[in-house]
Amino acid sequence: MSKPRIKTMEELSLAIGVSRPTLSRFFQDPTLVKAKTVAKIEKGLEQVEYVPNFFATRLNRKSTRMIGVIIPYLNDLFFTELLEAVEVAAMDAGLTVITQCSHSDPAIEARAAETFMSMNVDGAIVAPLGDHSDQAVYQRLKSRMPFVLMDSRPTTMPDVDYVGTNHAQSTGLITEYLSRVGEPPVFMAMPRVNFNAIERENGYVAKMNELGLKPEVIGAEFVNENWHFEDHGEAVLSAEFAQGRFTDRSILCANDRVAIGALRAAALHGLTPGQTKKGGLRIAGHDDYLLCPYLNPPLTTVAQDTASIGRKAVSRMLQLIRGEVIDDTPEITLFDGNLVVRRSA
């Protein structure tokens, strides 16, 4: 037999004999209600079919216990891994995560921010598109709710808390490793679409200068406007290899998706990176994309600590929501990258 369906809190109050204000307190926080009454309510709820209305129970509360998260694109395993880390940390903290994806479009990104404002989420964690993001929208977001940036830090938002990777350290680490085990690396860039692209390029150049080696950057120009970094890596390096260039060099790619294209270009030209003990073609990436161990050859890379980035973004958000942050100097947290040596370099 199906249970009677209860639609409103008034009906529920009548059905189980507990006053409306007490029920309201119970749904906000059961510890606000006497244990005996909690037991009575819980027993009553088992007898009926009732789902508290999310909007009604939250409308007059300061906190909605929801946070909004924006990621720039979906079809990228780095961002899904980062989003997963945020969702897991948020679930542990009892928060509901509302995710929106920018789909590489600043207008969609701006609309996602507006949606968060109109939903009264407790705060927003954003991995921004970068250069193209609508700065005015983000200033408005910041003025309205706790706001934490992750993954990429636009120079135009210096006053926002940020959690990400120390790209000078991570890129420096792998540049140093490649210089030690083979030919001095060339940097296979990605189009300068966001601040990470530039930070990694700068990190490479700084480390090469420190080592007394001549930095060399290729592929920073736009090949196409889509976000198929694999295409970019394959197109740029296939053209170079065809002219006999870089075939015995170390190639440090700006991210693993570019490196996947680079591995493909090498295979097309009959080259196998990482074959020799010293010297010869080597290909490395950045991020530790989930597929790296399964590539042919498996990709040497530097891992971003997505678990720590996600956890820290959520814990900072909780501090902001609880009003525990008095100092308004933005907090910048950078996690080191870890070298992951596989067969490609």
Where do contacts with a copy of itself occur on this chain (CB under 8 A)? Answer: 49, 51-59, 74-77, 80-81, 83-84, 87-88, 91, 96, 98-99, 101, 103, 108, 114-115, 117-120, 140, 144, 230, 234, 260-261, 263-264, 267, 290-291, 293-298
Measured from the CB atom, is 35 or 51 closer to a copy of itself?
A: 51
Exposure class string for 305-320: b at 16+ Cβ within 10 A, else e: bbebbbbbbbebbbeb
Nearest to 200 by CA among 135, 284, 264: 284
Q: How far is the CB of 214 from a copy of itself (least distance, A)?
A: 30
Q: How far is the CB of 264 from a copy of itself (least distance, A)?
A: 5
C-beta atoms surrounding 191 within 10 Å: 18
**Coil/strand/helix, residue 172:** helix
Nearest of 32, 42, 289, 339 to residue 181 by alpha carbon: 339
Neighbours of 49 (CB within 10 A): 11
What is d(CA 121, CA 66) in angstroms, rounded to the nearest whole number? 5
71 vs 173, beta carbon nearer a copy of itself: 71
Shortest separation between residue 20's beta carbon and a copy of itself, angstroms: 17
In the complex with a copy of itself, which residue's Cβ is closer, 92 or 221?
92
Q: How many Cβ atoms are within 10 Å of 5's Cβ, its own excluded? A: 10
Contact between 269 and 240 under an 8 Å Cβ cutoff? The reply is no
Taking the complex as a whole, how short is the minimal distance between the CB of residue 251 and a copy of itself, in angstroms? 16
| Residue 247 vs 333, nearer CB to a copy of itself | 247
Minimum gap (Å) between residue 212 Cβ and a copy of itself: 35
Quick one: which of 296, 305, 307 has its CA closest to 342? 296
Of residues 74 and 332, the one with the C-beta less far from a copy of itself: 74
Tell me whether residue 31 or residue 60 sits nearer to a copy of itself (CB atom). 60
Provide, rounded to whole angstroms, the least separation between the CB of residue 112 and a copy of itself: 9
CB 278 within 8 A of CB 338: no
Give the nearer residue to a copy of itself in terms of CB position, either 139 or 169: 139
| 3-state SS assignment for residue 332 | strand
| Smallest separation (angstroms) from a copy of itself to the CB of 168 | 28
Per the DSSP assignment, residues forming a β-bridge with 150 are 163
